[in-house]
Structures are given as structure tokens and as C-alpha cells.
Amino acid sequence: MEINQAICNYIAKEWIAQAKSKRAFALDHNIDEKVVRKISQKKGYNIPLKTLHKICEARGVKLSQFFEQLDG
């Protein structure tokens, strides 16, 4: 699996699915709702590092911790 797809699938499954809605996730994580919809696509999308950092920062997770979770 391609890395961007793996990142998006992880975020969609572990974090977005737990949110009240895609809109709520977007607001809580300081990103646009259309980005949440792109992340939620099965094929994922080429997620910018800046966006990944915003999401992790809002969750209180360091990027290094995120990638450890992704590998785990």
C-alpha cells in the first residue's frame, strides 16, 4: 500500500470514524471539511505534511508518535 493511502486510511478509520461528523472533525482539527472528505476516500489522497501536522497537533500527538502508531 502506498504511504499516503496508508496514512489516510489510518486517520479515516481510527479518528474520523469516531467523530460526530466530518464537519465536526474538520472544525476540531483546524482543517477544511473537503480535506476530511478526501482523507476519507478509500484511495486516500496526497496528504500534505502541514495538514498531517495540524491533525496530530489538535490531537496532542507528535508526528513521530503518529508514524509509530501507523507502523504498529
Going by pLDDT thresholds of 50, 70 and 90, the confidence category of residue 57 is: very high
Cα–Cα–Cα angle for 52, 6, 9, rounded to 5 degrees: 80
- Residues 6 or more apart in contact with residue 8 via CB below 8 angstroms: 38, 39, 40, 41, 44, 45, 47
CATH number at residue 23: 1.10.260.40
How confident is the model at residue 71, as a pLDDT?
87
Domain that holds residue 12: 3-71
pLDDT tens readout for residues 1-39:
699 999 999 999 999 999 999 999 999 999 999 999 999
Q: How many structural domains comprise the chain?
A: 1
